Amino acid sequence: MSQDGFIPLQWQEVPASEMERRCFEIYLESSKRRTTRHFSTREVSRNIIEKAILTAGTAPNGAHLQPWTWLAVSNQELKQKIRDAAEIEETKTYQDRMPESWQEVLAPLGTDAVKAHITDAPWVVILFRQTKRLRSNGQWGPTYYSTESCGIAAGMFISAIHRIGLTTLTHTPSPMGFLSEILERPEHEVAMLLMPVGYPADNAEVPDIHRKSIEEISVFIE
């Protein structure tokens, strides 16, 4: 009776008590994730990065077009080139382009135009969003909800890296055009996020900030 092109869903029920245990465990594990700017230079295997990218690639996405390209860079010269270009843009941003209202909320986070994490971390993963797709008739067509799709995938990547036992940072150099040039990406791909991945440095620090409570971030209507 199944629809053409469909297969049975693989799904196994989890007992209620086990779900209660898991939801607490998952929250506890997730709450330990922090964004640090301080990375160790210690190596990480390519296999780990591949599995994290494959995990991100399981994200729900618009029309199943999977509108993402993940660039994983461990080449030190290329990382240096990316860092140099990012720091040029970020210096302009922090010095001239960032309004006072923005500086105010960034100040407690300790961010600045120095992007040492790009050369310290063993891997830099750059997520490119595909704005178009090549149709089977050879013409270009749009992708759908590519920003939402890539945002979800990025979240899954970050979660995978955390669960693997490593750390990552979401860096958003602005504008990001230099990444397309350096990494020689086609015109229909737009850089969205740059994520150094690695071990935290021995002396890594994070800002002393707190997360909102369930009451502050949600409304339940029962």
Binding site for ligand IYR (CB under 6 A): 90, 106, 111, 171-174
The nearest distance, CB 174 to ligand IYR, in angstroms, is 5
Distance CA(161)–CA(171), nearest Å, equals 15
Q: Is 59 left (phi over 0), alpha (psi -120 to 50) or beta?
A: beta
The nearest distance, CB 169 to ligand IYR, in angstroms, is 9
Q: Are 167 and 200 within 8 A, CB to CB?
A: yes
The nearest distance, CB 102 to ligand IYR, in angstroms, is 7
Q: Are 130 and 188 within 8 A, CB to CB?
A: yes
The burial of 195, by beta-carbon neighbours within 10 Å (0-12 exposed, 13-18 middle, 19 or more buried), is given as buried
Distance CA(121)–CA(201), nearest Å, equals 9
The nearest distance, CB 80 to ligand IYR, in angstroms, is 18
How far is the CA of 215 from the CAs of 212, 219, 220, in angstroms? 8, 7, 9
Residue 85 vs 143, nearer CB to ligand IYR: 85
Residue 54 vs 106, nearer CB to ligand IYR: 106
Distance CA(222)–CA(220), nearest Å, equals 6
Residue 141 vs 207, nearer CB to ligand IYR: 207
The nearest distance, CB 22 to ligand IYR, in angstroms, is 30
Amino acid at 212: K
Residue 92 vs 162, nearer CB to ligand IYR: 92
The nearest distance, CB 116 to ligand IYR, in angstroms, is 12
Distance CA(140)–CA(120), nearest Å, equals 39
Question: Which pair of tokens denotes residue 165?
Answer: 């036992």
Residue 106 vs 134, nearer CB to ligand IYR: 106
Residue 74 vs 93, nearer CB to ligand IYR: 93
